[in-house]
Each structure stands twice: as structure tokens, then as C-alpha cells.
Chains A and B, each alone.
Chain A
């Protein structure tokens, strides 16, 4: 593996790790809110969150690029706050990843929260447990498997991303050039050996990760 590829690997892992963390922090309350929502507008929010599953990444990438442009409101605000531009930055690909992988985190969590229901939470309430206490002492341990699934899917999906990262990251070496783009570059340059090394590593790593998730879910079901 050449040096540039190692950098791409490092950037990929950093992007996926940060995105997963943000996804969990953002996705958990969102999933909770949806799970408890009784209003009919719920389907509207569910559809919005599920959009990235079917939308071509280039569509999302295109709109994000417009939103992140230096002359846009968001781009202006970002420039004032951080002093650097948002489009084609590492922050941009993290934001893109979060949006793109949101359904993979929110959906398993929402299902888990819906299945958990109110029974145990009411019991905990009657023993004096306050809302945050109930979340950490009842919800989290009882839906642990779903959190692991959500985090793994979010992480894996972020690692495997191509279109959005290319459009809003711009393939800048040492900053936004991730593995999937590195492979594309190798193929374009006819460096099939390097492309093969990276592809095979990604393939095996993804397969192992997914097997672990299914193993965990299988255990949860049979318990």
C-alpha cells in the first residue's frame, strides 16, 4: 500500500468515526421522538429520513454543494465562524456522511424503541427513576444490540460512500480523499494492483462487519 493510500485510509476511518459519533448523538433523540410520536405527520418525517436510501448520492451531493458554496448563507456563516470555507473541506464530507447515513442509524433505533414500549419505563418511573436515568438504566441496556447495529451500519455505510464525498469533498489528497475515491483514481490510472488491494481489503472488512451485526441480531432474536 502506498503512502497516499494510507492517508486515504486514515481519512476514511476518521470521517466514519466522527460521523458515527454524530449520527448516534443526533439519531438517538430523533429515533426516540419518532418512536413516541402519535401524530400522523410521523410518516412525513420518516420519509424524509429514509430519502438517502433511494436517492442517488449525486442528488444529495448536488444540493449540499449548493448549500455549502461560499456565497450561500450556510457557507457565509461557516466562513465567519471558522475562518475557512465549507465546500471541499473535511467538515463538508462529515456533514454529508451524517445526512447520507442517517436512516441506517435512525431506523434500527426507532424500531427498537417502539418494540421496547412503555412497560419497563413506567415501572422504572414508579421506582423514582428520572427520564435520563431511565434512558441509561433501562433503554440503553435493553436496546444495546440495536445501538451496536445502528453504529456499525452507520460506520460501514459511511466508509462505503462515494458520490457525495466526491461532489462535496472534491478529492483533495490529505483532506477529503477517502478510500472509495482512491480506488476510483487507481482504476482511472490503470493501477489495477493497487485498486485490487484496496478493494479486497474493503470487501473483507465490510463482510466481517456485517457478519458480526447479523450474528448479534441472531443472538438477540434467539435469546
Chain B
């Protein structure tokens, strides 16, 4: 059982009062999301032991790392916590291999095999290179491998993909998921990109102005954020994790299982990378889902589902005064649809109404498959 207790204040911060209190089970990947300057990095650096200005208490797996009232401060190098920085910070005077050796030599457990980690992170062809000969994507892969080789009990990731292009972002996301599954190391992943966290995190913590404003299951928190407006506004969306049923080569579609009877279709994913029955993290923007009152049998749009309107948010936010957000429950899954105020009035929708939602195959997005991505989503961030 991995458990992290945080009870922190930071008096040094003049912009807002930083007060973070949470006891969380840090299993799998915990995402920490918030706008720039919300205190995410302050929190991460406090857990790492690099920020000595914070007051309060941090306990990880029963071990007190910080307790300012008892004058306990475990030095960062003694905490056995790893950190992958935004910029890879590879040691420029050491080759890739020596950077990795640096970590392994100083690790306390020494159970990992360096060659296995090199293979896992696909660095075989790069070991003899110098850091300045690597692309930014390669540098971050080395930084990840290096952090892993110190065998930390907790791995912190501080915006690890923010310097990467779209292709490297999806490659690195897949790698992070693979590493987490194979090594089973708990991770705290800080990002201002909700899309990145949607693809990777099991749980999500949302921070704004130095306070936790939500914490819980990733999909549920994202759905709550659709309606949240205190300082945070996201691209409203339906967050899904669906099992892959089959790849339809003939039509170029991948079939996803919504429940035993119903399927969703999306542009075909690489069959090599995505196996049948794998769970796929994907999302549909609320603006990509439309509503009809009759079943759209003669439509070119491949996905349509029947459901009930469970919630109506009107108006949605300051930026979109003229649109309405609907929550529609289809089978066990809630979908979010954003429609214009005009359509809303025309269809005379109300809570409990039976409607059909429809969306194109291309409306289902995932970040780990770069071919299904367009530029705008890869760097989808806060408005």
C-alpha cells in the first residue's frame, strides 16, 4: 500500500496562500493538474525535498520526510524519490550510458538491470552518444531511464512532455504507461495539459491558487471539471477507458466496446501496438457530440447512441454564453454534449428527455496514437 500524506503551507509565496492537505493512495499514476503558477511545481519540489520554504508535514509510506514542528527534514538525496524535470538535465560531461550508470551507482536497491531499462526505454542505439547529440524526445527518454535506475519508491514527473513535439509526446506517453505497468512504480505526474493526464493518470488532483479543488478518479474529475468554473476552465469532454473489440481492416475503423451490446467506432489504431481487449484511454470533445430527437438511421455519422438527459448546464461559462452543456447517460456511461443555445431552445430539451447523441468516428481521440491526432489536441491545455 503506497500512501502519501501531505499537509503543507508556504508562507514565502506572496501571490496566494499555499495550503495543500491530502492523504492519498499514490498507486499507479496520480495526475496533478492546474494552470501555470497554481502551485503544482511548488508541491512537487516540496515532496522531492528541493523546496525548503514550505512548512508542514509530508509522510510517505509511514516515513516522515518533513515535519517542521518537530524539525524533521530528510534531505532530498535521502528520500529515495525520483524526479524527471521539464528539461531533461542530463549531465553534459557524461555519455548517455554514463548518465545511466551515475544513477545506478547511487541507487540504494540495485535490483534493476541497466540493459533491461535501456531496452524498455528503447535507448539501445543511443548509449554511446553525448546528451547534446540527442533530440529533445530522446533526452527525455534518457532522463526517464536515469530516474528509474536510481530505483526510487516514488517517481515525480514535472511537465516531462512540455518541450516535446506531437510525435514524441505520444511516444513518451505510451512509454510512461508501459514503464508504470512493468515496474509498478507509483508516479506523481504534474502537467498543465489535461490531455496528457487523461491518457495516463488513474487519479487526478486539481490545484488552483495553491489549493486542491478536486481529487478522485481521473474520468470523474474531468467530468466534474466540465462544470467547474472557479478559476479552471477546460475543453469540455467525455473521458473514456474502453476495451478494444477489434480492428476493422476493411473499413479502417477500430471497434471499442461500450457495453455488451453497443460499440463505438474510431479511426483504426495500429494493430501492432493496440491488441484486442486492451483498454484504450480516449476522449470526445463535448462540441463534437450533437443531439437528435429521432434515431439518425440514415446518417453518415457512424456513432449514435440512445440516452437520457441527466443534467443541463446553462449557460456554460463566460466564454461561451450562447452554448449549453448537456450530460446524457447512455447505458452506464455519461456523455457530455455542448450545443448552441439556439438548438437547445429549438429542441425544447429538458432533464429526463430521451435523446440520441451522435458523433463522427474521428471525434474519438487518443494521444498515444499519433496518427489519429491533429495538432490542436496534442498540446490541448487550459484556456
Contacts and interface: CB of A to CB of B under 8 A. Distances in A.
Given A120-B89, A123-B89, A126-B147, A137 B82 contact: no
A132 to B, nearest CB: 11
Interface in A110-144: 119-120, 122-130, 133, 137-138, 141-142
A105 B64 CA distance: 42
A137 B102 contact: yes
A119 B77 contact: no
Contacts of A128: 77, 80, 103, 106-108, 150
Among A120, A126, A142, max chain B CB count under 10 A is at A126
Contacts of A120: 89, 91-92
Given A128-B106, A128-B107, A137-B102, A123 B93 contact: no
A127 B102 CA distance: 8
Q: SS class of chain B's interface: helix, strand, loop or mixed?
A: loop
Contacts of B76: 122, 125-126
Given A127-B102, A128-B150, A130-B77, A122 B93 contact: no
Nearest to B81: A126
Contact of A126 (B83, B87, B93): B83
B77 A129 contact: yes
Assign chain A's interface to a size class. 10 to 19
Contacts of B83: 122-123, 126
Contact of A127 (B49, B50, B92, B103): B103
Given A122-B50, A137-B102, A127 B89 contact: no
Contacts of B75: 125
Nearest to A138: B91
Interface in B76-104: 76-77, 80-83, 85, 87, 89-93, 102-103
Contacts of B85: 119, 122-123
Interface in B43-90: 48-50, 75-77, 80-83, 85, 87, 89-90
Interface residues of B, number: 25
Given A130-B77, A137-B102, A125 B50 contact: yes
A142 B131 CA distance: 14
Contact of B106 (A119, A122, A127): A127
A141 B50 contact: no
**Which among B49, B80, B92, B102 has the highest number of chain A CB atoms within 10 Å?**
B102
Nearest to B85: A123
B235 to A, nearest CB: 33
A199 B89 CA distance: 49
B146 interface: yes
Contacts of A126: 48, 50, 76-77, 81-83, 147, 150
Nearest to B106: A128
Interface in A125-171: 125-130, 133, 137-138, 141-142
Nearest to B90: A123
A141 B87 CA distance: 21
Contacts of A137: 102
Contacts of B93: 141-142
A56 B188 CA distance: 60
A141 B91 CA distance: 10
Contacts of A142: 91-93
Contacts of B87: 119
Contact of B150 (A122, A127, A130, A133): A127
Contacts of A130: 77
A52 B167 CA distance: 58
Contacts of A133: 106
A223 to B, nearest CB: 9
B77 A125 contact: yes
A190 to B, nearest CB: 55
B357 to A, nearest CB: 47
9 cross-chain pairs, A with B, having the tightest CB-CB distances, nearest first:
A128-B106, A123-B89, A126-B83, A127-B103, A127-B150, A125-B76, A141-B93, A125-B77, A128-B77
22 contacts: A120-B89, A122-B76, A122-B89, A123-B89, A123-B91, A124-B91, A125-B76, A125-B77, A126-B77, A126-B81, A126-B82, A126-B83, A126-B150, A127-B146, A128-B80, A128-B106, A128-B108, A128-B150, A129-B77, A133-B106, A141-B93, A142-B92
Given A123-B85, A129-B106, 12 more contacts: A122-B76, A122-B83, A122-B89, A125-B49, A125-B50, A126-B76, A126-B150, A127-B82, A127-B107, A129-B77, A142-B92, A142-B93
